[in-house]
Amino acid sequence: MKLYGFPPTRSIRVLWTLRELDVEFEFVNVDPSKGEHRRPEFLAVNPAGKLLDNLPRLRGFMERMYKRPNAPPRIAEAFASLRR
């Protein structure tokens, strides 16, 4: 999985969630202040050129996709804090 984002934007929440879930992923830094969200290689995977425009839905998907029945309580707490 690749996560395209730019800290300190909302993408940091998804980055944190993936790390809490121990999901293997590659973080691809996309700096919108330098126009990197308009580069052809980014537009090839995201034609709208947006960075995480539906964060709550993405977090919900990750929670369902990577849910582990014996996950430590910190994961449940992490998801609860992200919804605030």
pLDDT digits 0-9 by tens, 24-56? 889 888 898 899 989 998 898 888 887 765 566
Spatial contact of 59 and 79, defined as CB atoms under 8 Å apart:
yes
Predicted confidence at residue 34, as pLDDT, reads: 93
pLDDT tens digits, 13-24: 788 778 877 888
Chain-centroid distance, C-alpha 14: 3
pTM of the full structure? 0.62
Direct distance between the N- and C-terminal alpha carbons of the chain, in angstroms, rounded to an integer: 26
Distance (Å, whole) CA 6 – CA 29: 5
2-82 has which CATH code?
A: 3.40.30.10
Per the DSSP assignment, residues forming a β-bridge with 27 are 3
The C-alpha angle 56, 61, 63, rounded to 5 degrees, equals 95
